[in-house]
Structures are given as C-alpha cells and as structure tokens.
C-alpha cells in the first residue's frame, strides 16, 4: 500500500485525489494547499490529512510518493524539494514555462537520484497506448507520417490564458509529447497560428488555433492541429501512417447510439466533452504506472527529460511563428550538459 | 448488337428503356404499349419504333429479345406469346398474382424451349452479389442466419395497393427471392403483419409492415423485415451470419459527407430515396446478364421456376397470417408435375 | 450506507460482490454459500462475513437488503424467506424455470409487502436506457418495430445446458424482458429454432439459435435473433423503428482504433467478449437503482411480475416451436388471480 | 450538340474521350495525337476522325470546343493556338511547369477573349462540391481550418517522375487548387518533404511525401498531407472546420459490404484504387460544366487564373523547402499586370 501526498487541491488535484483513493494499492495521506479550505475539502472527500506546510509533508517518513498538481510556477520548487527529500514525484506538466529554469532545476536535483515522472497522461490513454503497441510490433511497417488532432471544446477563461504561457506551452505541449511518444526526438518545428478573430486571445497575444509541422529524428513527418474551440466536443484523434498501413484513433462517442430521422442518418452524439471525461482512464493508468515504478525502484517514464523536451518544442514553435522559419531542434531538446540523457523506454519506435 | 423490344412504357418500362439504350451491345427497336403516346414518348427518348400491336412486335424477325415491363395482369399472356414466338424474355416480377395461372402458363410454354429470365434485379446489385460470391467461397463458413431489411420510403398510392396483390406478393416477393438466392429452397414460412394504423391500407385489407421467419432447406433461419414507410430513406440491408463470421450490406448514403455540429457528430444524409436510385446499377447488370445468356444460347437465371417459387412463398405468408401457423412449403414451391426443375445455377450455397 | 447480504458466491455472485464493494453507499456484510470456501473467498476480497446459514443472514437486523445470485433452483426458496424476513431483494433471473412454482411463490409472499427487484440488468445498460429515454420523449414517434440481436460468443458447457431450461428460459429471457421494456406487454409469440448441427445441444434437445417474432400490446412487431455462438464477439444490438425515425444501439468495440492495410480498411477489433465486459456498467446501475428504491421505500423495478412475464414468454416460445403455431399470451403473462398487477413504471412506452 | 475535338490520346485523353462520347449533348469529332495509331484507337472506340495535324483540327469550323489532354510541355502551344482560333478550351492541369511561360501565354492570348477552363476536376467531385455548397450556405459558420489528405496508391514510374516537375507541381497542385476552392487566395505557404527512403525519387531530387501548411486570405489555416504510396488504396479526404461545426468527406469504399470474423469487425474493403475510379463522376461533371459554359457563352471556371495560382503555390512550396521559410504569396499568385483578375465565381467563401 503506497501512501501518497498530494500538492494542489484544485481541479486537476482533485482528479489525482480521486485516482489515488480509487487505486487498490494506494492511499491518500496528505493534501497540501496554501488555501486550507481547499485542502480540507479534498481530504474530507478522498482521505488524508489536510495542511498548508510543504516541509511537514516532505518530512513525513510515511509518505512514499508525491503528486504535484499545484499551479505551474510552484512546480520547480516542489519538485526540487521532493527529490531532495527522497520522494518519488509525479509532476503535472509543464515543469516550468522557462527552459532555463528547468535546466537549473535539473542541475539542482541531478545528483539526488531523481525519480520524476511527468504527467503526460495521454501516453496512458488505452487507445493511444494500444496503437503504439501495435506500431512497435510492426503492424504498419516503418512509420512515415503522424497526424495529431486536438481541439478543446471552448477557450479557457482569460485569467487562465494570461498565466498559461500561450497555446504551445499550455495546450500543444501534450501533442508535442505525443509526437515524441511515436517518433522519438523531433528535429524540426514549423508553426502557423491564428486568433480566429477572438479578441480576448488576441489581447493576450495568444492564438486560437495552431497548425504545426514536425520532423522526427527517423525522418517521419507530423502535423498537429489545435483549436481552442470545437462545438461538437473534445476532438482528440490520432493517425499513424506507415509503409504497410495505418492505425487511427477515432473520436469517442458517449454511447453507441445512432439516430435516424427524415433529416439525417447514422447520427452520433457530440463527443465526450473534455479531458476529465475523455482521459479519465489515462489518469488512472498513469498513476498505476507511477506506483509500479516506485514499488520496483525504477525511474518512472515519461521522465524529466521528456518534460524538458516537450517544452523545448513549444519554444521552437514560438520562435517559428516569430521568425517564419522552420526551427531546428537538437536531439532531446538539449541545450547543455546538465540535461538528463534520453530515457530509452520513451524513445522512438525503432 | 441485340435488338430488343420493350412491352410497357410506364415507370419501370422507362428504367429498362434507359438500360437498353445505354448498353454497349443493345439497341431498343420496339416500344409497345396500349397507350400510343406513352410508347411514343419512350421511343422518342430511347430509340425504337413505337406501337400498340403485340403480334407486330413478336412477328418481327429482327427482334432478338423481349423485355416485359407491362402491368402484372398482362405478364402471362405476353410471356407465353413471346416464348411461342421463339423470343428470349426478361419479365418483370411477378409472373402473376395467382399460382395456378403461373402453372397453366408453364404447361403452355414448357415444350417451346422457354428462355425466360425473371426481373429479380436485386440479385444483380453489386453489393448483394459480392456478398453471395464471398459466402460461396466459404469466407464465413456454413450459413446459419440471414436477415433481410427492406423498407420503402413511403406507401404507394391506393390504386396501386388495390391491384398489387398485397404486401407479400408485391413487396416481400423481392425479399423471398433474396432469401432463395442465399438459402436455396425455403421449407417453412411464418409471418406477422400490422397495418400500423394506416387506414388506407387497412381498408384494402393490406399491411403496412410485415415480419417473416423462414427456414431454408439446409437448416438456416431467416428474418425479413418490411415496412411501407421509412422517413430516413430506402432502408435496404442484408446480413449473412455463418459459423466463421458475418457479411453485411450496409445502407448506402448519397455521398461520403459526414457533418458535425453542436447537436450531433458523424451525421450522414438520409439514404438514397428509392429503388430507382438504389438499384440503378442492378438493372444494368440484370440486362447485361440477360443479353449474355441470349448471346450464348443459355437459359438465363433467375428463371421461371424462381418466379414461381417466390410467389409460392408469398402465398405461404398469406396463409400463415390467416391461420397463425407456420406453413410448410415443398421444395421449389412445387405443387405439381408441370413445374420446371430448379435451376442449379440459382440454387443454395451448398 | 446500506448493509447488503449476498447469496451465492459463484461467477455472477462475484459480479454483484464487486458492485456492492464499489458502491459509495453500500457495504457487503454477509456472503452466504453452501460451499464455505467459496463464500470465504468472496468475503476476503470484497468484505463481509462468510457463512453457510441462510437463517443467520436473514435474522441479522443489520442486513438492509439481500442480493440472490445463487443457482436458479434455490431462487424461490431464498426469495420467499427473504421477503418473509422483511428484506428487500434483488434476485437474479429467472425466478424459476416453472411458471406454476413462480405463482405459488407469489401466493406465498404477496401479503408480506414484497419488495422484489428482478436482475434484468440490461434495462440499466446506459445505451439501451438512453434509447428508451429518447423513445419515451417522442423522438421517433409511435414505435412500430423492434429488433433485438443477442449472440453469445460460444455455447456454455454441457452441464450448464442440461440445467438451463433451454435457450428460451436461459438466454432469450433477457430479450423477452427487453421487448417488454420497450413494448410493454407482449400478446403473441412465434419462434423457430435450429441446432445448427451442434451435437451436444441436439442431445439435450436444446437449440443453438432461435428467431422469435413478437407482437406488442400496442401493435408493434418485434424480432429477436439469438445464437449460442458468434466468432466476432458478443453481438448485442437493438433497433427501435418508429414513424418518425429509428434509434439503434450499435455493438461496442474495445477501443476506438481502426486499422488499414493492403487487405482491408476501417477494421475494428472483435467486440467486447461477453456479458461481464459488455454489461459491467449495467450491473452497477442496477444495484444503484435497487438501493435507491430501498432507501426511498419504493418497490423496485423491474419487479416480480416482470420476472414472471418474461418466463411466460419463454414458455410460449417453447410451445410455439412444439406446435408450429403463434401462441397468444395474456397481458402480463397472467394465468390467474395471484399474479401481481403490472408495475406501471415498467410499462409500455405509451 | 457540341462537336468536341480532343488533343492527346493517352490515358487521360481516353478518360475525356469516354466522357464526351457518353455525354448527351456532345460528340467527339476529332482526335489529334502525334502518334497516329493512338489517335486512331481512341477514334475507333469513341468516335471522331483521327489525325496528327493541329491546324486541321483548329481550322475546322464544325469544332465547337477543344479538350487538351496532351503532355504538359504542349499545353501552352495548344492552348494559345486554340484560343486564337476562337475555340473554347478545357485544358488539363498544369498549364506549364514554369510560371514565366504561363505569363507569356496569357500575354499572348489575353486580347483574344480566352474561354479557358482548367481541368481541376476535383472541384466537380460530387462530395467536395456538396461540402463547399453547404459551407457557402453557412452550415458551419466561418471557416477556420481545412485539412486535405491525398495519397496515391503507388508512385508513378521513374520516367513520369523525371518529367513531372516534382511532387508539388504534379500532385499537390490538385490540393492547392482545392485549398483555393475553399479558402480563396492563399497568402502563405510552408512545406516539409521526405523521400521516405525511396531511392528512385531521391535520385530525381523528388519527394515521396509532403506536408504543407497554408494560410488563406481570410485567415483560415490549412494542411495538405500527400504521399506517393498508400497500401490501402487512394486516400482522398477533406475536412472543413468552422465556428459552427465541421464537414468531412470520408473515403469511399468500393461497396457497402462490412465483414466480421474472429479477427476483426466492421471491416471494409480497401478504397477505390486510383483517380480513374474515384473521380470518374467528377470528369463527367467537369465536362458538363465546360459545355454549359460554352453553350451560354460564359467564361468557364476554374479558369486560366486558377491554373496559374495553383502553380504559384507549388513554386512557393518548392521555395519553402529550399529555404526553410514560410513563403508569402501575392493574391492570385500574381506577379505582374498580365495576370487575369480572379474569377469571382471561384473565389473564397466569404
């Protein structure tokens, strides 16, 4: 039985609290949030002791593992302190909005045997995972093209946008990681964006949609299609094309009901609304893999290097938009010696 | 080049006229209808000489083949005279609404080397034909169950109903033939009907929907689902279930367009409206097979015996509704020695 | 928090044990089975005290509700004793294989305020439930036709077959209840069966497939298609056809992955294997409705009368096969005064 | 009845010959090709007089319209001479592989009232046309994103590649035109390519796949995905995404048959093999629109300017690959005053 501490009692924090409470081998023992009432509400529902003190949590020898679901600006600090305290960490993406801060963080923790897993939960979505498994078994031969579609049902509130780091660091980052999940390192990034006439986003200098081209280290090409709005639900598709065929993750309907009328045939309902519905199972599977790695003393994956690499692609996309150029990215998104070596487990499908 | 004469210049007659005019190896040379203007209109559009005289047509040595698309009560007479005149005949279903009349017809023509093809055009629908081909190659192993769905978009006008012989002889007869196409002879028939509150049909003693159970000679079971109305178009489906799998003919949409909105996803358009659209290709393929058989001196299939057998199943269904009993049917729907032997080419998939 | 006792620690008993253990407002407090080790194993996993004594369980005032998942021959006894002990009961189908025994049971318990729910879990399948909800809101107008497809992946073992009461009482009974869920009372039954060459089933006088026609009290017609084998998985479909449209429950794939190769396009995986996978959610929803009814003091639905009515339809199907006749069924499958009146909540969609 | 002359008796020439012969209001009167036997073979099959002399054809006053389906290097010459001879022209794409040659051609013909239609037949595909129609009626609101997928079943022979002008001028040009059909003028182009390890293409400096990003004049973004190989058939899809929904052209299967086995469910057949099958109807509709425009004295569309604009986008893509930059394109792909003004009929959906 793993005793898990949770930092952050907001929306995503609650998702993790529920996963922990529902896991056969885990128990939520600490809920830590600067807002005492928020921590208490989560503890009341999912178990554990509520509090506001980070040191108290990290100093508790009965805490076996830590989940960080607090706001992004707190990630580096909590992650560093957790690693120094010897706790395995599952940290929500992104590590930080600034690559330099990420590299300083790594320099700080590298010698403390960091066991850090990044919360790229989509890698654990059963559908995407199943496709990757089939691809790695050679079902479609050499991978040549990847297409990732990710459209949110509606834009986040302006306050969220202002602190988000922009569409690439906030939203596309999941797709950059998905590209790396299938293609391994990415070597080129090109991006176009549009505000689609959305004044609030334009005021923040942010985009409403993005289309990104990537080239993987093995030569495959990739498109990412993002939009902040989609009236027919949360549009989450993936298509892997190879010499021998194609595997596709279609969207998921809330039920298998099809309707027929004088106006239309074979009508399905709009798709599952958003990530809490669509990726519910992937949060569970992610936690399960984290705890297995903790139990077996493994470094969990995707790891710190994957978190850094996804952000490096986001920065490259920002630069591409600014310059109109395709931006070359070093392998692993590496900028210096402090970067951890790429985790083979998360590498390309070679 | 086959010179073809057409009896009947109504709706179905025009379908055949167009097929003949569009066939690479055929020419429409005669259009015969008791209404001179109707015959002339068809001839003007599709070629041939218009007229009202049957003997004139059948006495013309340049007529290589005859298509009968006139009203049902004229079929036996035209078919008999055509056979006696030595002409190969493609005759629209049914031969007649009365089995005894059919048997008298056969007695009349049996010794004149009848080359008669019945217009069960659905056997030539590329989709159904392709399924039967795959079934006969063993793709799904032994056939155990067949499900036929046939729903018209809307009921025919009352005058048509009154002369139609009822839903089984007029509409289900296509499905009885389709059952025989896949199962060979049918040995048991059970039927339930409902007028669904349609007063016009009830007044004629006719049904608005029918559900029929059949047993094939090899033991397979079959359901037929019929309705005179279907708001989402012409519902034409077929499902063949075997020990090793299933083959299904799905409905056909007018285009491959799918629509997505705030209210619905993956929406297709209502199906192709009616038989002229849905079975356009099958009329062409049927004519083509008829002309090939004529050219090669073969007896075309499906033949007279198939026309009789389908009507025998319709009569059994009528009897089942009247008695509440499953009605046993002799092989070939045979009632006596005058019935032609079953054409092996159209037999069961053994 | 409802304290629930479970009778029966076999396969279906474990399904209920898991549902109870996973329910937010329930706790498994007793597991009773004549085989002590079986009871203990379930209790070890899902909670509660294991035992073999029925009276001890029913005499425990802390038991709020009872779930009966023991073999069919024990249902009447356990159900009667539970009702007499004042416990609300969720009883697996069928009540018994013999209508007379069911009626005696009712005579025995009718005056003890029976709160009995029958385990027709498919009514609680989210897909079927959602369709019925939309039908009842008038989305497709008056219901005219219902088609139910239910094919098991493979036949049960011979020992199971021998005690099952035959395909209609064991397998089709779910479909009879589904027909009643949509159509209300059924007034006519006609059935055809085949052993499909399966020697084991033939030796038991049982069928491998069945096709059944029903007429509902409001005039709608219905087909049920059953098979004991289906190589492509558990084939569970439903189609409700009305004047204004159609609603269909398509089969459910294990994932939304589609594969494309040189041989095929849009290929899905075989369907969810069997009822434990396909109807997992419906068991949860069924238990939830049972406990809600208990909490609110309501008689739960579907109730005892529904259990009796489904068996009456099975008996009618047996008779139809034996006689070749359509069998008329009284409303509610009633055979006498002791039958409970029909529960309006479960009635036809009028 | 339009009397049509055809230049070019190769593969695409035969497609046009068949369309002309099958058109109710057209007759093929001349087939002109430098290879006499080729011209004769087409004339024998589809009608008309065969010959090798261009002037003889263009000097014939009975020729009402000209179709140019000869090799690309002959287009400018034949098109110019046809316009000077006063003949309306339907010319296969591209006008030429060199923009300067196209502009010289226009300078040459601009004052001779050119009635030139470019053979971008996909605009006349019923599915794409139907989507554009619905988009223009506002069904999905403002268009924000377009995704075009076009994968050929297999690469053309090396000799074809060598003369093709490269993937953008030969293959993507159809997709550039499709982008313009939906978005109007395109203002930015960015492209990535890969040879996917294909040595023959690499030897020619050509690509095996391409991914292109475009920005439309109204701000919408677009991706084009091309591959020279696709094992599951000719992959032709289109997706238009707007504020109010999405319209999608799915791939088209050869039949509506779906297969089910122990290994797979809902399996369709590989898609229609290549353009002759997939776009058969669009060639007919294209010819029909051309002849209607001729009959009504209209300048047909898409016109010369559209042909130039698509090639300008191809050149921009070539430049983008060479420089790694997004290439800005002037409206209409205009480079100078001699370019015809954009035909409003083919403009953006504003």
Express each pLDDT in B78-124 by its tens digit: 999 999 999 999 999 999 999 999 999 999 999 999 999 999 999 99
Alpha-carbon distance A139 to nearest alpha carbon in chain D (angstroms): 13
Q: Measured between CB atoms, which of C190, C196, C243 is closest to B192?
A: C190
Closest-CA residue in chain A for B272? A265
Mean pLDDT over D186-199 rounds to 96
Which residues, other chains included, contact C98 with Cβ-Cβ below 8 Å and sequence gap of 6+? none
As a whole number of angstroms, the distance between CA A289 and CA A301 comes to 8
d(CA A326, CA A310): 17
* CB-CB under 8 Å, B244 with D261: yes
State the nearest Cα–Cα gap between D244 and chain A, in angstroms.
Answer: 6
pLDDT of residue B344: 36
Residues C209 and C331 in one domain: yes
Query: How confident is residue B350, by pLDDT bands cut at 50, 70 and 90?
Result: very low
Domains in chain B: how many in total? 2
Chain B neighbors (3+ CB pairs < 8 Å): A, C, D
User: How much is the pLDDT for B40?
Assistant: 97
Q: Position of tokens 């079943």?
A: D153
Q: What CATH number should be reported for the domain holding residue C246?
A: 3.30.360.10
Quick: pLDDT tens for C203-227. Answer: 999 999 999 999 999 999 999 999 9
Q: Which residues in chain D have their CB less than 8 angstroms from residue B256's CB? A: 127, 249-252
**C221 in helix, strand or coil?**
strand
Query: From the CB of residue A117, how many other CB atoms can be counted at a distance below 10 Å?
Result: 26
Closest Cα in chain A to B229: A262
Mark yes or no for CB contact C245/A252 under 8 Å.
Answer: no
- Segment holding A235, helix H or strand E: strand A235-242
Same domain for C162 and C294? yes
Question: Do residue C168 and residue C307 come from a single domain?
Answer: yes
Over the stretch C164-180, which tens digit does the pLDDT of each residue have? 999 999 999 999 999 99
Torsion (CA) C331, C337, C343, C348 in degrees, nearest 10: 10
Question: Could you tell me the pLDDT band of residue D80, with boundaries at 50, 70 and 90?
Answer: very high
Mutation target among D131, D149, D259, D263 for the B interface, most CBs of B within 10 A = D259
Instruction: Choose the closest CB to D232 out of C260, C268, C270.
Output: C260
Q: Please tell me the least confidently modeled range out of B227-236, C33-42, C331-340, D336-345.
A: D336-345
| CA distance to partner chain B, nearest, from residue C228 (Å) | 11
Upper half-sphere CA count for residue B84 (Cβ side, 13 Å): 15
Phi, psi (deg, nearest 5) at residue C165: 85, 0
Q: Which of A234, A236, A253, A267 to mutate to test the interface with B (most CBs of B within 10 A)?
A: A267
- Is residue A273 a contact partner of residue A234, using CB atoms and an 8 Å limit? yes
Report how far apart, in Å, the C-alpha atoms of C182 and of each of A259, B133, C179, C218 are.
17, 38, 5, 11
Which of A256, A259, A285 to mutate to probe the C interface, most C CBs <10 Å?
Answer: A256
Closest CA to D246 of D182, D294, D199: D182
Last residue of a domain, one of B56, B82, B114: B114
Is C315 a residue whose pLDDT tops 70? yes
Name the residue in chain D with its Cα closest to that of B254: D127
Same domain, C225 and C339: yes
From B97, B114, B131, the end of a domain falls on: B114
Classify A248 as helix, strand or coil. Answer: strand
* CATH code assigned at A53: 3.40.50.720
Please name every residue paired with D224 in a beta bridge, in sequence order, or none if there are none: D148, D212
**Total-model pTM:** 0.92
pLDDT at C338: 32
Q: What is the pLDDT of residues B132-179, one digit of tens each?
A: 999 999 999 999 999 999 999 999 998 899 889 999 999 999 999 999
Residue D64 lies in domain: 2-114
- Tell me how far apart the alpha carbons of residues A169 and A180 are, in angstroms, rounded to a whole number: 15
**pLDDT tens, position by position, D328-342:** 998 765 433 333 333
Nearest to C192 by CA among B182, B143, B314, B188: B188
pLDDT tens profile B67-81: 999 999 999 999 999
Interface of B with A (CB under 8 A): 231-233, 251, 253, 259-271
Contact between B180 and B331 under an 8 Å Cβ cutoff? The reply is no
**What pLDDT, on a 0 to 100 scale, did the predictor assign at position D347?**
41
> Residue A333: what pLDDT?
52
pLDDT band at C341 (very low <50, low <70, confident <90, very high): very low
CB C342 within 8 Å of CB C177 = no
% of chain B surpassing 90 pLDDT: 89
Give contacts of B130 with chain D, Cβ < 8 Å.
Answer: 255, 257
φ and ψ at A182, to 5 degrees?
-95, -35
Chain D partners (3+ C-beta pairs within 8 A): A, B, C
Percent of chain D with pLDDT over 70: 95
Q: Are residues A86 and A142 in the same domain?
A: no
pLDDT of amino acid B331 = 72
Residues D105 and D136 in one domain: no
* pLDDT given at position B135: 97
Q: Which residues of C touch D (CB under 8 A)?
A: 231-233, 251, 253, 259-271
- Is the domain of A324 the same as that of A254? yes
Give the pLDDT confidence score for residue B333 in this predicted structure. Answer: 52
SS3 (DSSP) at D171:
helix
pLDDT in tens, D287-312: 999 999 999 999 999 999 999 999 99
What's the pLDDT tens digit per position in C250-273?
A: 999 999 999 999 999 999 999 988
pLDDT above 70 as % of chain B: 95
CB contact (8 A) between residue B259 and residue D247: yes
For chain A, the chains sharing at least 3 beta-carbon pairs closer than 8 angstroms are: B, C, D
pLDDT for the residue D342: 38
Tell me, yes or no, whether C39 and C139 share the same domain: no
C343 falls in which pLDDT band (50, 70, 90)?
Answer: very low
Instruction: Tell me which chain A residue has its CA closest to the CA of residue D228.
Output: A243
pLDDT of C347 strictly over 90: no
Smallest CA–CA distance, residue B309 to chain D, in Å, is 28
Closest CB to D265: pick one of C260, C262, C268.
Answer: C268
User: Are A178 and A212 found together in one domain?
Assistant: yes
Residue of A240 and C280 predicted with greater confidence: A240
CB contact under 8 A, A190 and D197: no
**Within this chain, do residues B189 and B302 fall inside the same structural domain, yes or no?**
yes
CB contact under 8 A, B209 and C215: no
Q: With a cut of 70, which residues of chain A have pLDDT below it?
A: 332-350
Nearest CA to CA, how far is C83 from chain A (Å)?
35
Mean per-residue pLDDT over chain B, rounded: 92
The stretch C102-128 carries a mean pLDDT of: 96
Q: Are residues C25 and C142 in the same domain?
A: no
Nearest CA in chain A to D270: A245
Assign D124 a pLDDT band (cuts: 50, 70, 90).
Answer: very high
Return the residue in C221, C250, C265 with the most chain B beta carbons within 10 A, the one to mutate for interface testing. Answer: C221
The token pair that represents B313 in the structure block: 């199943």
Of the candidates D95, D114, D133, which is a domain's last residue? D114
Tell me: do C90 and C235 sit in the same domain: no
Dihedral of CA atoms D174, D146, D258, B181 in degrees, nearest 10, equals -60
β-pairing verdict for D116-118 and D245-249: unpaired
pLDDT (tens digit per residue) in D269-284? 999 888 888 898 999 9
Contact D221 A227 (CB under 8 A): no
Half-sphere exposure of D71 (CA within 13 A, CB side): 9
Structure token pair of residue D143: 């268009």
Are the beta carbons of D269 and C264 separated by less than 8 Å? yes
């Amino acid at each position: 039985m793993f005793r898990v501490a949770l930092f952050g009692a907001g929306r995503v924090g609650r998702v993790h609290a529920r996963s922990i409470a529902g896991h056969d081998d885990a128990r939520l023992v600490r809920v830590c949030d600067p807002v005492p009432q928020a921590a208490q509400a989560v503890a009341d529902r999912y178990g554990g002791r509520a509090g506001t003190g980070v040191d108290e949590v990290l100093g508790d020898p009965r805490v076996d593992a830590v989940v960080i679901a607090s706001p992004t600006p707190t990630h580096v600090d909590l992650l560093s302190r957790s690693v120094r305290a010897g706790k395995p960490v599952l940290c929500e993406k992104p590590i930080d909005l600034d690559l330099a801060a990420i590299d300083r963080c790594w320099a700080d923790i590298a010698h403390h045997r960091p066991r850090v897993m990044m919360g790229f939960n989509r890698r654990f979505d059963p559908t995407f995972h199943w496709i990757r498994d089939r691809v790695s078994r050679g079902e479609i031969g050499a991978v040549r093209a990847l297409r990732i579609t990710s459209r949110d049902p509606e834009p986040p509130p302006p306050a969220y946008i202002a602190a988000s780091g922009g569409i690439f660091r906030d939203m596309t980052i999941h797709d950059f990681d998905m590209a790396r999940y299938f293609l391994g390192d990415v070597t080129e990034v090109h991006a176009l964006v549009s505000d689609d006439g959305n004044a609030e986003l334009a005021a923040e200098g942010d985009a409403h949609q993005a289309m990104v081209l990537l080239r993987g280290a093995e030569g495959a090409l990739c498109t990412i299609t993002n939009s902040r709005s989609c009236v027919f639900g949360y549009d989450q598709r993936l298509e892997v094309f190879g010499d021998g065929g194609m595997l596709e993750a279609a969207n998921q309907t809330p039920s298998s009901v099809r309707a027929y009328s004088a106006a239309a045939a074979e009508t399905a309902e709009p798709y599952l609304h958003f990530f809490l519905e669509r990726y519910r199972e992937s949060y569970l599977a992610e936690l399960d893999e984290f705890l297995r790695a903790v139990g077996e003393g493994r470094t969990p994956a995707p790891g710190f290097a994957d978190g850094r690499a996804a952000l490096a692609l986001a920065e490259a996309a920002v630069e591409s938009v600014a310059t109109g150029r395709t931006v070359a990215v070093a392998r692993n998104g590496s900028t210096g010696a402090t970067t951890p070596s790429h985790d083979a487990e998360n590498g390309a499908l070679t």
